A and B are shown apart, each in its own frame.
Chain A
Amino acid sequence: MLFGLLCLTFAISHVMPGDPARLAAGPDANESMVRTLRAKYGLDRPLGVQFARYLGGVARGDLGQSLRSRNAVLDDLVRYFPNTFELVTSALLLAVAIGVPLGMLSAVYQNTWIDHVTRVVSVSGVALPAFWLGLMLQLLIALQLGWLPLGGRLGLTAAPPAPITHLLFVDALLRGEWRTFADAAAHAVLPVVTLCFPALASILRVNRAEMLETLRQDYIVTARAQGFSGFRVVTRYALRNAMIPTLAMVGLRYGWMLGGTILVETVFDWPGIGLYAVNSAVSSDFQPIMGVTLLIGLNFMLANLLVDLAYGWLDPRIRRPA
């Protein structure tokens, strides 16, 4: 898989009919300058040789250099990735924390007002453009009401804590810098909510549908007949079974969030890899985009692996070899 991913990024960067050397040289460059650059990056060699060099570079952690920041792409990624990781993880946790209980409630109280409200949420969530939702939240809550900051990661006066894990929240907690933590949290609310909303909608939807399905099963009726309390039946018996498809959706949505974070980071000026990729793409800075693509692909693969492991934990039948 990983090899396939490398082939894909290589194909996009080297085989597509764009010319990275011309892009790098800028619009005013003459033919000889482009040729020099092409030779410098080895772009005049046969594709097989280029691919071998590319693989070798990636294996050594060399993802090329950003033309805009003049840094090695890997260094930039290391700097920006923790921010994205915090944003996406918080949004995903929030989506699960709200989506699963809400889906459960709306299945248990089907066709009541709870159910109607959650259905409106789930239908709107998938259709709302995340970037527009972010802008409107900024407009209402940050600009009109002034409750929360407009964007960025920290206020201008706050200094980030000395890095331990490079995750701002964790570091602020570990260092006991409560003011920094609160500041970071205030900055995170709007982006996290924006990113969370579409995922929340689809998790809610799947969980509701699955709960409705499981609540109709014979073993639920049996459990109820045996006199187990309604709460216990719903949480222990039904929810656990409904969680497997829900979890598949969580895995899928994680991937979507890694894409959506590009938009949300752009709106909120959040210094993560999404914003980095957009800024690079706008200025035709090529290597960073490939680095981000590779990193996000890798992340998504890892997430799918975790989901598969979680299946086994939830469902003993999957653990046993068939």
Chain B
Amino acid sequence: MSARVLALERRQADASVAREWRRYVRAYTRSASSMAGLVIVIIFVVVTAIGPWIVPYPEDARGAVHLERKLQPPSATHWFGTDEVGNDVYTRVILGARVSLEIGLIITVVAAFIGVPLGLVAGHVGGRVGETIMRVTDVFLSVPALVLALAVVGALGPGIVNAMVALSLVWWPGYVRLVQAKTLALGQETFVEAARANGAGRLRIVRVHLLPNTFSPIVVKASMDMGAAILAAASLGFIGLGAQPPYPEWGAMISHGRNYLPTWWWYSAFPGLAIYFTVLGFNLVGDGLRDLLDPKSRG
């Protein structure tokens, strides 16, 4: 084939990819709730990026003490009020976004990196190895993630790093399940059989045929998991096993503010709202992506 024909084919392929993308974008933007989710997530990401430059009292994130202005109600100078040592709650909530994003990303990425390869092996290779992987996965799935994470943090000791380690350790089995089921189903497809008949090696089948086709359910799950992981980390923070003060983590802030209810309600109310909107945003985006990429698994 001449270089010109190749270039032409290339261009056609590019055009069809672009068309496909435009179709996706149109379908996604048509759903009001998906767009609302996207807007929330974008705001969240922007806030994490520029947070340190827009907050009025950056030193308050590291536990400065201004007793002269402690426990003040929301006002023009302190939008969300101040806490028991006079730190600006608004500053801490904004900087807490970065903490939450880091936690959510790390947990989700680590879980996918452990779970996806194991799921591919279990679904594609099968046999004794696959059986073992699935057994171990089932055991992990038999204990609710938060309980298991509590046990692991109990063993390692409290702290934000240990909380992340614990949640990553308990988060991967969901990916194994998902990828294994998908791989098993794909293994029956004609195009995989054709590739096998053509003499494609196992690795090539996995890389070219299986992995790309499991991609969309993984993306959907990951976007949902971002919300869930943020929620779980905040839960550990709330019960005192996650981030330790004065670290600006939302769950730990709520836990501290709890002692100042009901008079000083703003202390724990605003971090909770921040968690709520963030998780809501990721869930709505996940929902929208699922309708788009994986409409059959709705529910």
Question: A residues bordering B, Cβ < 8 Å?
Answer: 1, 4-5, 7-9, 12-13, 16-18, 20, 23, 123-124, 126-132, 135-136, 138-139, 143-144, 205-206, 209-210, 245, 249, 255-256, 258-260, 262-263, 266-267, 277-278, 280-282, 284, 286, 289-290, 292-293, 296-297, 300-301
Contact = CB atoms under 8 A, between A and B. Distances in A.
Given A126-B283, A132-B272, A293-B147, A286 B155 contact: yes
23 contacts: A8-B140, A12-B148, A12-B152, A13-B155, A16-B156, A17-B156, A126-B283, A127-B227, A127-B231, A129-B231, A131-B238, A259-B144, A260-B146, A262-B235, A263-B239, A267-B258, A278-B150, A281-B153, A281-B239, A282-B241, A293-B148, A297-B147, A301-B142
Contacts of B272: 129, 132, 135-136
Given A132-B254, A206-B299, A266 B239 contact: yes
B150 A129 contact: no
Contact of B269 (A23, A136, A206, A210): A136
Contacts, number: 153
Nearest to B234: A129
A123 B33 contact: yes
Contact of B235 (A131, A205, A290): A131
Given A132-B268, A289-B150, A300-B144, A281 B241 contact: yes
A293 B143 contact: yes
Contacts of B271: 132
B142 A209 contact: no
Contact of A12 (B155, B235, B265): B155
Nearest to A14: B155
B151 interface: yes
B276 interface: yes
B276 A8 contact: no
Interface of B: 33, 135-136, 138-140, 142-148, 150-158, 227, 231, 234-235, 238-241, 251, 254, 258, 261-262, 265, 268-269, 271-272, 275-277, 279-280, 283-284, 298-299
Given A132-B272, A206-B299, A124 B234 contact: no
Contacts of A258: 144, 147
B171 to A, nearest CB: 13
A45 to B, nearest CB: 19
B241 A143 contact: no
Contact of B154 (A130, A144, A263, A281): A281
Given A123-B284, A263-B238, A296 B154 contact: no
Please give me the 3 A-B residue pairs with the lowest Cβ-Cβ distance, nearest first: A259-B144, A132-B272, A259-B146
Given A282-B241, A286-B155, A124 B280 contact: yes
A124 B280 CA distance: 7
Contacts of A267: 258
Nearest to A301: B142
B262 A139 contact: yes
A129 B235 contact: yes
A262 B143 contact: no
A8 B143 contact: yes
A286 B152 CA distance: 10
A8 B147 contact: no
Given A13-B155, A206-B299, A300-B142, A259 B239 contact: no
Nearest to B142: A297
Most buried by B among A144, A256, A289: A289
B147 A262 contact: yes
B54 to A, nearest CB: 24
Contacts of A1: 138-139, 142
B142 A16 contact: no
Contacts of B261: 135, 138-139, 143
Contacts of A286: 154-155
B146 A262 contact: yes
A263 B140 CA distance: 21
B96 to A, nearest CB: 13
A259 B279 contact: no
A263 B232 CA distance: 11
Nearest to A300: B142
Given A12-B152, A131-B239, A132-B268, 15 more contacts: A17-B156, A124-B280, A127-B231, A127-B279, A131-B251, A139-B265, A143-B261, A209-B299, A249-B299, A255-B144, A259-B144, A259-B146, A262-B235, A282-B241, A293-B151
A18 B268 contact: no
Given A144-B262, A293-B151, A210 B299 contact: yes
Contacts of A123: 33, 280, 283-284
A9 B148 CA distance: 9
A282 B240 contact: yes
A8 B33 CA distance: 40
Contacts of B139: 1, 4-5, 7-8
A126 B288 CA distance: 16
Given A127-B280, A129-B235, A135-B254, A143 B262 contact: yes
A95 to B, nearest CB: 16
A296 B147 contact: yes
Nearest to B232: A259
A282 B201 CA distance: 52
B150 A132 contact: no
A316 B74 CA distance: 60
Given A18-B157, A209-B298, A293-B151, A300 B276 contact: no
